[in-house]
Chain A
Amino acid sequence: GQNIDQPTEMTATEGAIVQINCTYQTSGFNGLFWYQQHAGEAPTFLSYNVLDGLEEKGRFSSFLSRSKGYSYLLLKELQMKDSASYLCAVRDYDNTDKLIFGTGTRLQVFP
């Protein structure tokens, strides 16, 4: 079956670093995406990994290990505006490149 696991909630302090983990078991794999979603808004793209290793983009970094079915999103120098849900999604390429989502991790950043 298709299964993507990530923690439901996390809290952190402004200025700190937080790591959100995601493990996946899917029949196919054609990349892993991280999206950010503020309440009532559209999910917005943060990062994409298809090869093992770390992808860095400003304050956000994402890591992938395909052999372990594992990814994490690293957020540095946390700001209050980073309070949001973070969605891990695997692109499953069988005959379509649909995304399979985890339930999302709600991150609260406190001053």
Chain B
Amino acid sequence: EAGVTQFPSHSVIEKGQTVTLRCDPISGHDNLYWYRRVMGKEIKFLLHFVKESKQDESGMPNNRFLAERTGGTYSTLKVQPAELEDSGVYFCASSQEGGYGTEAFFGQGTRLTVV
């Protein structure tokens, strides 16, 4: 069974440019999460999809970030325009429908560097 895959693994862009990150969750997982880790800090929640619906987007930093999950399968996270402070590792995770001990499976992340 394929795990959570993220693309690209690395991205270097200039300030003001646009970048789109993609996440393919484990097949059949309704829950999809985006997290971010900036250097030296903890991994922080960005948002949560249940199928194609945004369940919680309280962690999104500002309106330069747009997440979509059309059709309830893969998800994209667009940053437009990118700023220096957006640099970090963006993780995607997916899980089955909630229940006792339901674990989230993580992708290996996209390392975004804004210069």
Contacts and interface: CB of A to CB of B under 8 A. Distances in A.
B74 interface: no
B7 interface: no
A98 B42 contact: no
Contacts, number: 60
B14 interface: no
Contacts of A97: 31, 48, 95, 98, 102
Nearest to B99: A97
B56 A98 contact: yes
B33 interface: yes
Interface string B84-115: 00000001010100101111111111000000
Nearest to B101: A48
Given A42-B3, A43-B91, A103-B42, A98 B48 contact: yes
A35 interface: yes
Closest 6 CB pairs of A and B: A96-B56, A101-B43, A42-B108, A42-B106, A98-B45, A103-B42
26 contacts: A4-B42, A33-B103, A35-B106, A42-B3, A42-B91, A42-B108, A43-B106, A45-B104, A45-B105, A50-B100, A50-B101, A87-B43, A89-B43, A95-B55, A95-B56, A96-B55, A98-B48, A98-B56, A98-B59, A99-B104, A101-B43, A102-B42, A103-B40, A103-B42, A104-B42, A104-B43
Interface of B: 3-4, 31, 33, 35, 40-45, 48, 55-56, 59, 91, 93, 95, 98, 100-109
